[in-house]
Amino acid sequence: MRIRPHLLAVALAMVMAGGAYAAVSADMSVQIRNAQLRATPSYLGKVSGNVPYAQRVQIMQVQGDWFEVRSGTATGWLHKSALTTKKIAAKSGAADVGATASGEELALAGKGFNADVEADFKKKNAKIDFGPIDRMEKIKVSPGDARAFLEQGGVKAATGGAR
C-alpha cells in the first residue's frame, strides 16, 4: 500500500500545475557540492550517506520538502533544494566540480562562472584576498552539533522543530 501517498502527491501536483506538466524522469541530479543523505526526512536525522555533485539519484518517495532517494546501494532523504531534474555532466574522475561541463538546460552552467573564472579573476584582482572566504568555508556545523545546540538552548518550535 506504499503507493497511495505517491498517488496523492501526483494528484496534488497536477492540481497545482493546473494540468500543465512536463514528463520528466523520476531520476534527479544532486546540484550541491556534497549532499548528505539522512535517515529521516529532517536535518536532525542521522547522516546515512553522502552523494557528490552531479550524481543521478532515483526518487523513492516524497514527503513535504524531502525526497527519499536511492544512490547505488545507499538510500536516504534529501531536501528538495539539493536536487534538480536537470542532468549535470561531471567530467569523469574530475575532483574539481568547477571544471565540470553540464548537459541539457544546464549546458551552459559548467562553462559559466566557475573555478577557471575565479582563477582568472584572482589574477586580475591581486588585491582581493580570498583567504577569509576559504577560512569561513572551513567552519562546519554537523547535524549533531546543531541538534545539541538547539536542545541545550531549549529552542523548540511549537510545530515540531527545524524541518
Binding residues for other proteins restricted to 36-95, rule: CB under 8 A: 43, 53, 58-60, 62, 67, 78-85
Min CB(39)–other proteins separation in Å: 16
CA dihedral over 65, 68, 71, 74, signed as positive or negative: positive
**Binding of residue 29 to other proteins (CB under 8 A):** no
Among 39, 74, 94, 162, binds other proteins (CB under 8 A): 162
Candidate residues 74, 96, 118, 144; the one interacting with other proteins per rule CB under 8 A: 118
Q: How far is the CB of 50 from other proteins (least distance, A)?
A: 13
**CB of residue 38 vs other proteins: minimum separation in angstroms?**
11
Distance CA 63, CA 9 (A): 9
Interaction between residue 96 and other proteins (CB under 8 A)? no
Minimal distance in Å, beta carbon 14 to other proteins? 6
Write down the number of H helices and E strands in the chain. Answer: 4, 7
Residues in 138-157 that interact with other proteins by CB under 8 A = 139, 141, 145-146, 149-150, 152-157
Count of residues that interact with other proteins, criterion CB under 8 A? 84
Question: Which own/partner pairs from 40-46 qualify as long-range (CB within 8 Å, at least 24 positions apart)?
Answer: 40/77, 41/66, 41/68, 41/77, 42/66, 42/77, 42/161, 42/162, 42/163, 43/79, 43/143, 43/146, 43/162, 43/163, 44/143, 44/146, 44/147, 44/161, 44/162, 45/77, 45/143, 46/143
Among 72, 98, 104, 144, binds other proteins (CB under 8 A): 98
